Amino acid sequence: MSETKQKLSPYTIGILLISAGIILLLLNYFEFDFLQFAWPFYIIFPGIAMIVIAFAVNESAGLGLMIPGCIVTSVGLLLGYQNITNHWESWAYAWALIAPGSVGIAMFVFGTMRSQPKLVKDGKKVMTIGAILFICGFVFFELIIGISGFGFRSVAWPILIIGVGVFIVIRNLYFVKQKAK
């Protein structure tokens, strides 16, 4: 059985190399600039390498590699998204996904893999803070200010003013009922 696996391995490698070469030839023929979209992987791969190494070393050094590994990987993924979509304005609020977001992910994953419930619990808290900061930033920068040119900028302020007015009216009605009792 092991002989079959060893004989298939060179064939598999050969087929993968042939496929990769054909794909690269087609991309070259159609003048597709692969590096225009692939450069974020120069950031993502070292981050992933740090994450992998984090599980191979002792616990304190592992967490010390896991956190920067997740930060670097998150930066690369965010840059990849922004490069593909040309949505660079998202840096105004997307930083929350990197720190504290990816720090919380690192703590959660490392704590889960190493059976450290306190680290898992703390990681969830830090991820939650990152998600809340991201959502608040997104709402403010995209929907209220309209930093990217889309959103509810034209109607956000009137809706906000109406909401404040409704709040004041309801609050005053509640206090009037409280004073009447």
* Two tokens, residue 154: 């034209």
| Domain residue limits, the chain | 155-181
Distance separating alpha carbons of residues 89 and 170, to the nearest angstrom: 38
State the Cα angle at 88 between 147 and 78, rounded to 5°.
Answer: 125
Please report the pLDDT score of residue 156 as a whole number. Answer: 65
Residue 20 has a pLDDT of: 81
Report the alpha-carbon distance of residue 113 to residue 180 in Å, rounded.
Answer: 60
Q: What is the pLDDT of residues 1-59, one digit of tens each?
A: 444 444 456 777 778 788 888 887 877 777 767 667 788 999 999 999 999 999 888 87
A 10 A CB-CB count for 164 gives 10
Q: Phi then psi for 149, rounded to 5 degrees?
A: 90, 0
- Confidence band for 181, pLDDT divided at 50, 70 and 90: low
Band of the pLDDT at 176, cuts 50, 70, 90? Answer: low
pLDDT of residue 2: 47
DSSP string computed for 125-167: HHHHHHHHHHHHHHIIIIIII-TTS-SSHHHHHHHHHHHHHHH
Q: In the prediction, which pLDDT does 149 show?
A: 73
pLDDT at 19: 83
pLDDT at 56: 87
Output 1 or 79, whichever has higher pLDDT. 79
Dump pLDDT digits (tens) for 101-147.
999 999 999 999 999 999 999 999 999 999 999 999 988 888 878 88
| Of 6, 75, 82, nearest in space to 46 by CA | 75
Whole-number pLDDT of residue 84:
87
Selection from 78, 84, 11 nearest residue 44 by Cα: 78
